[in-house]
Structures are given as structure tokens and as C-alpha cells.
Amino acid sequence: MKEMIKFSPEITKIFFELTKEITTESPFSNKQKELILIGIFTSNQGFNGLKHHIKKAIEQGASQEEVLYSILLALPVVGITVTNKAFKIAYSITKDFINE
């Protein structure tokens, strides 16, 4: 994302405005939105975004179990390799934030 901001700050600003508008109109709670985004980023192998949204989900009160199940739901779509990579990312982040 840093590269995109540097190359095209105006387009990046529009992107973030669109994202904000979509999430503002959503009927989901902030925690639910973050958990959904975890599944989406897992499915798209967007591992940098996955890290960001795991942290945001935890800030919104998500448990480690909720984060991991959001990833696990992507398993039939993405397979075991991608799911395992996402699990490793999640465990490395959640161990710093959650004491379970």
C-alpha cells in the first residue's frame, strides 16, 4: 500500500473514501466486519491486509477462536497451504494481543 500511496496519492485517497463509505453503510458491527475481512484477505492471499485486519478484529474484541475460524472458513476455497500460512500469521499476532 505504501507504494501505491507514493505513486498515486489521489487514487489511494479515493480508494480509502470508498472503503469508508462501504463500511459505514454496513449492517455489521465493527468486529463482524473485521472477521469477514479476515476471511476475504485469506481467500485472496492478501497477507499484509490479513495482518492489519487481525489486529483490528482484536481491537474490536474478537477472540483468538473467532479470528482462527474466520480463516478456517476459507479452507474449502483456498486449500490447506494458504490456510496454514494464514494460521501462522494469526497465531503470531494473537499471541501478542490475547492471553488465552
| pLDDT per position as a tens digit, 14-50 | 999 998 898 888 899 999 999 999 999 999 999 999 9
pTM to 2 decimal places = 0.85
Computed over its alpha carbons, how large is the radius of gyration of the chain? 14
Find out whether 54 and 38 touch, Cβ atoms under 8 Å. Answer: yes
Domain ranges of the chain: 29-97
pLDDT band at 99 (very low <50, low <70, confident <90, very high): low
CA–CA distance, 42 with 30 (Å, rounded to integer)? 18
Q: What is the assigned CATH class of domain 29-97?
A: mainly alpha
pLDDT band at 98 (very low <50, low <70, confident <90, very high): low
